[in-house]
Amino acid sequence: MVLLLMLIVLAKHLFILHNIVHFDWVLSIKDAVASCVILGLSSWGIILLIRAYPTSAAITVYGLFMALVVSGVTAGAEFEALKWYIGVDNEPYKTWLKDTLVVRFLFIWLFNSWVSTISALRKNIGTLDARFQQQTDAATLLKEAELFKLRQQLQPHFLYNSLNSINALINISPDRAQEMIGKLSDFLRSSVKRESEDTLPINDELVYIQSYLAIESVRFGDRLQVHFEQEYTDHAVIPPFLLQPILENAIKFGLYGRTGIVSITMHIVLDGPLLTITVVNPYDADTQPPRGTGFGLEGVKRRLYLLYSRTDLLETSSDNEYFTTILKIPQHHVQGNTDR
């Protein structure tokens, strides 16, 4: 941009000298080229001074002050250089050069002030961009750290329950305890492989859930029945480890205080930009398990907020018989709805 402006200044300078002041072409070209070269060096010096300024505080005032100082030096240097280069044997030109010294200084000062202001603004913008990037990086690291913490809360809670069940089964049913240990090992191995994934196809998540249910079936036997109703495309995705705590919550509240078969339903449907997962379990407000300290629905809600910056993606409701949890996952690359 500065180079283009210098070319415009050169053309106008040449036009004024030849057509208005009526100097010949040779003198006009020499004066215009020499003046523009000196002006360019002056502007480049201003830019270097702005870049070397150690801070962005009061940089505009500093730039204008340096523009005034450098312009005064430039005007004097230009006068002496042109007088030596062109006006050695040309008294009319030297007289004209002396008469226009103030005008030249004012033009150089205005030009350098513009250059210094633009340079100061660019440095301020660069400083603000760097500061904003630092804050963004810090916020991203904080978000990732909290997401990691929320993920890690899931496994200790589940392990605690599983190990307690294994401990109880060792004496009364060693075979079932051994079976549960094998399924738990496979389940944890699968968890490690999924740890680095941001999202997974819903089918992969359901395979993981089936592994989880296989462990729970050892604990509860035929009492636990989970039914899946699926209406979605193969491209539907979900963040890992979201369904397990919801299902664990349904099992906990559905089976507590009951001795018969408990049926839990999970309905998965792709509706436009949202993958909606509805989990329904039996519920009795008068018979509730003691409040624990595990992952729970609050952890799921917090993860959803960190991932999507929305607070409306997890809803719960209850009546006299059933507790319903509705999970909504935004789908950024899914279109259509295909029944399966």
CATH number of 173-330: 3.30.565.10
Tokens of 170: 């060792």
Residue 149: per-residue pLDDT: 66
Look at residue 214 and give its three-state secondary structure.
Answer: helix
Tokens of 333: 């690359």
CA–CA dist 297, 248 (Å, integer): 10
What residue segments make up the domains of the chain, in order of their start?
A: 2-134, 173-330
State the DSSP H helix or E strand holding residue 10, giving kind and residue range, or none if neither. Answer: helix 2-15
Q: Find where tokens 């397990």 sit.
A: 244
Residue 157: per-residue pLDDT: 64
Residue 333: per-residue pLDDT: 54
* pLDDT, one tens digit for every residue, the chain (340 residues): 666 776 777 777 777 777 777 777 888 888 888 888 888 888 888 889 888 888 777 888 888 898 899 999 998 888 888 888 775 577 787 888 888 888 889 988 998 898 899 888 888 888 888 888 888 777 777 777 766 666 665 556 677 778 888 888 888 888 888 888 888 888 888 777 777 788 889 998 998 899 888 888 887 888 889 999 988 777 889 988 888 889 988 888 888 767 788 899 999 998 888 999 999 998 877 776 655 544 578 888 888 888 888 889 999 998 888 899 999 999 875 444 444 3
Cα torsion through 293, 298, 304, 307, rounded to 10: -50
Angle between helices 91-99 and 101-172 (to 10 degrees): 50
Cβ atoms 220, 252 nearer than 8 A: no
Question: Considering the entire predicted model, what is its pTM?
Answer: 0.58
Helical residues (DSSP H) of 86-100, grouped into ranges: 91-99
Residue 300: per-residue pLDDT: 87
Q: How far is CA 94 from CA 84, 89, 97, in A?
A: 10, 9, 5
Helical residues (DSSP H) of 195-335, grouped into ranges: 202-220, 243-255, 296-308
The amino acid at 174: P
Q: Find where tokens 């050069």 sit.
A: 97
Alpha carbons within 13 angstroms on the beta-carbon side of residue 299 total 24
CA–CA dist 195, 284 (Å, integer): 35
CA–CA dist 107, 95 (Å, integer): 19
Residue 330: per-residue pLDDT: 92
Residue 280: per-residue pLDDT: 94
Q: In terms of Cα–Cα distance, which of 126, 119, 23, 112 is closest to 75?
A: 112
Cα torsion through 197, 203, 204, 205, rounded to 10: 70
